[in-house]
Amino acid sequence: MEFLTECNKCGKCKETCPGYQAFLKESFSPRGRLRLAKALQEKEILYDESLKKRFFSCLLCGSCETSCPLNINITSILYRARTESKKTLLQYLFKYFSLYPHIFFSILSILNRFDKFMSIINLPYFNRISSLEIKPQSNSLQVHSKVKPAGRIAIFLGCTSKYLIPSITEALIYILNWLNYEVIVPKQHCCGAPLLSAGFEKEAKNLAIKNLEVYKSFNIDGILTPCPTCAHFIGDVYKELIGEKLKVLKLADLFREKDREISGQYKGNAFFHISCHTSNYVKDSDDILSLLQKFGYNAQKKTGCCGFGGLFSFLFEKQSMDILRKKVLEYEKADMIISSCPNCIIQFKLAMKNKKIVHYAEAIEKILKGAKNGRAF
Ligand code: SF4
Ligand code: SF4
């Protein structure tokens, strides 16, 4: 195991780290975790449970990398440190969830019919999804054609938008068809982010290779995904894992090529929640915000972690909920939350059951459908 050691200990990474803010201990900060990884590499310390807790309490949000003046790839170091861990039952559960998500979500869709049973077992993830309607989705190829298309775009769904909020996918297909693109939704696998976060690097690489094979077999202009975690993973992390990545497009760029005017006006108080992976990796939030404004959403820009963090919310439910509670207070005055990430939506729905929370693709689709029917929104 090799770790970078050139950290100058300036502490800039601590200021924005949600993991540090949840635990308020140096060893739970990015700088502290790097120091521990180095100590482990130099065999000063052993890989015990306490150390594992420090490595796994990172939400992999990337804020530290954005603020680090030396551009240290902190999450890569933490991924590597996690790979070395002794695996637990929960980690193996994560592994099988990522390898066979359709089986996992089919079981959940059955369990979800038994509310009382779900409330007795009281597992964090079950709580998160109990308010959603889980529909087993087809994993076969879908093609949404146009007569003279401007191009062909493939969608990478991501497990949340595929199994838990399929309305996001439907919105994305509608928008792309409206923009005159032929849309294909290939048979696909999980991007592999949950696998790598749980310490299964070899298995994450295998999924990356499979997804690469699937998408490269189509003649496409690029890939669009509603999930910024998937976008970062297939567009950046794949390059580190297998030396090759997929071409990820940005929705705002596709609209830029169009000069069709659409008007709409949302009169309520809308907040645009920008997820950590949108802020720190995909970096298209200003373009999405401009797009939302063009479509009549005078949305306020909001950043900051929702507390989900995938595996983090399973392992550190209390801290995950503490982070979420701060967001609930911050978003109290919003009539609608427009999120850049499906996973943040799942997290928000846990604590803001009566609030309107949508993905930006759904918000845009609503305006387009209103315009088609001759109505202002
Ligand atoms: S990725 Fe996020 S949670 Fe993890 S160390 Fe960096 S800032 Fe903290
Ligand atoms: S910001 Fe970068 S250089 Fe500064 S303490 Fe954090 S990891 Fe080290």
How far, in Å, CA of 40 to CA of 22, rounded? Answer: 24
Same domain, 72 and 122: no
- What is the CA(274)–ligand 1 centre distance, in A? 16
Tokens of 111: 């369990």
Q: Which residue has the higher pLDDT, 239 or 114?
A: 239
Band of the pLDDT at 272, cuts 50, 70, 90? very high
Residue 12 has pLDDT above 90, yes or no: yes
> Residue 120: what pLDDT?
64
Q: Determine the average pLDDT of the residues in 180-196.
A: 94
Q: What ligand is nearest to the CA atom of residue 23? A: 1
Residue 339 gets the label, from left (phi > 0), alpha (psi -120 to 50) or beta, of beta
Domain annotation covers residue 136: no
Question: 344 burial class (0-12, 13-18, 19+ CB within 10 angstroms)?
Answer: buried
How far, in Å, CA of 84 to CA of 55, rounded? Answer: 11
How far, in Å, CA of 216 to CA of 242, rounded? Answer: 14
Domain annotation covers residue 5: no
Which ligand 2 atom is at minimum distance from the Cα of 12? 1
> Residue 122: what pLDDT?
63
- Specify the residue for token string 């939400």: 59
Domain boundary among 63, 83, 103: 83
- Specify the residue for token string 């939350």: 337
Same domain, 74 and 94: no
- Which stretch of DSSP H or E encloses residue 142? strand 142-144
> Residue 141: what pLDDT?
83
Domain annotation covers residue 186: yes
> Residue 261: what pLDDT?
66
How far, in Å, CA of 224 to CA of 284, rounded? Answer: 13
Domain annotation covers residue 2: no
Residue 129 has pLDDT above 80, yes or no: no
Residue 180 has pLDDT above 80, yes or no: yes
Q: Report yes or no: 286 and 272 within 8 Å, Cβ to Cβ.
A: no
Q: At what angle do helices 285-294 and 360-372 cross, to 10 degrees?
A: 20
How far, in Å, CA of 336 to CA of 162, rounded? Answer: 23
> Residue 108: what pLDDT?
75
Residue 179 has pLDDT above 80, yes or no: yes
- Specify the residue for token string 């409206």: 178
> Residue 107: what pLDDT?
78
Domain annotation covers residue 217: yes
- Of 24, 72, 74, which is best to mutate to test ligand 1, by the most ligand atoms within 8 angstroms of its C-beta? 74
Same domain, 198 and 281: no
- Of 8, 14, 29, 73, which is best to mutate to test ligand 2, by the most ligand atoms within 8 angstroms of its C-beta? 8
- Of 68, 71, 280, which is best to mutate to test ligand 2, by the most ligand atoms within 8 angstroms of its C-beta? 68
> Residue 85: what pLDDT?
94
Range in 28-37, 116-125, 261-270, 362-371 with the lowest mean pLDDT: 116-125
> Residue 86: what pLDDT?
93
Residue 28 gets the label, from left (phi > 0), alpha (psi -120 to 50) or beta, of alpha
Tell which residue, 241, 181, 238, 240, has the closest CA to residue 215.
238
Q: Determine the average pLDDT of the residues in 113-123.
A: 65
Residue 374 has pLDDT above 50, yes or no: no
Band of the pLDDT at 265, cuts 50, 70, 90? confident
Q: Determine the average pLDDT of the residues in 111-137.
A: 64
N-to-C CA span, the chain:
55
Band of the pLDDT at 377, cuts 50, 70, 90? very low
Residue 80 gets the label, from left (phi > 0), alpha (psi -120 to 50) or beta, of alpha
Q: What are the two backbone dihedrals, phi and then psi, of residue 336, each rounded to the nearest 5 degrees?
A: -145, 135
Q: How many domains does one find in the chain?
A: 4
Q: Report yes or no: 303 and 228 within 8 Å, Cβ to Cβ.
A: no
Report the chain's mean pLDDT, rounded to a whole number. 89
Q: How far is CA 66 from CA 25, 28, 235, 335, 346, in A?
A: 21, 18, 17, 31, 25
Residue 217 has pLDDT above 60, yes or no: yes
Q: Determine the average pLDDT of the residues in 60-66.
A: 97
> Residue 373: what pLDDT?
53
Tell which residue, 25, 3, 1, has the closest CA to residue 14.
25
Q: At what angle do helices 74-83 and 30-41 cross, to 10 degrees?
A: 50
Same domain, 284 and 351: yes
Residue 137 has pLDDT above 70, yes or no: no
Domain annotation covers residue 198: yes
Percent share of the chain, pLDDT over 70? 89
Domain annotation covers residue 213: yes
- pLDDT tens digits, residue range 282-327? 999 999 999 999 999 999 999 999 999 999 998 999 999 999 999 9
- pLDDT tens digits, residue range 15-62? 999 999 999 999 999 999 999 999 999 999 999 999 999 999 999 999
CATH value at residue 337: 3.40.50
Name all residues whose Cβ lies below 6 A of ligand 1. Answer: 17-20, 30, 33, 58-64, 74-75
Question: 179 burial class (0-12, 13-18, 19+ CB within 10 angstroms)?
Answer: buried
Range in 22-26, 117-121, 243-247, 371-375 with the lowest mean pLDDT: 371-375
Range in 74-83, 131-140, 266-275 with the lowest mean pLDDT: 131-140
Domain boundary among 200, 223, 254: 254
Domain annotation covers residue 134: no
* b/e burial code for range 101-132 (CB count within 10 A of at least 16 → b): beebbbebbebbeeeeebeeeeeeeebbbbeb
How far, in Å, CA of 21 to CA of 18, rounded? Answer: 5
> Residue 119: what pLDDT?
65
Same domain, 120 and 146: no
Q: Containing domain of residue 17, as a range? A: 12-83
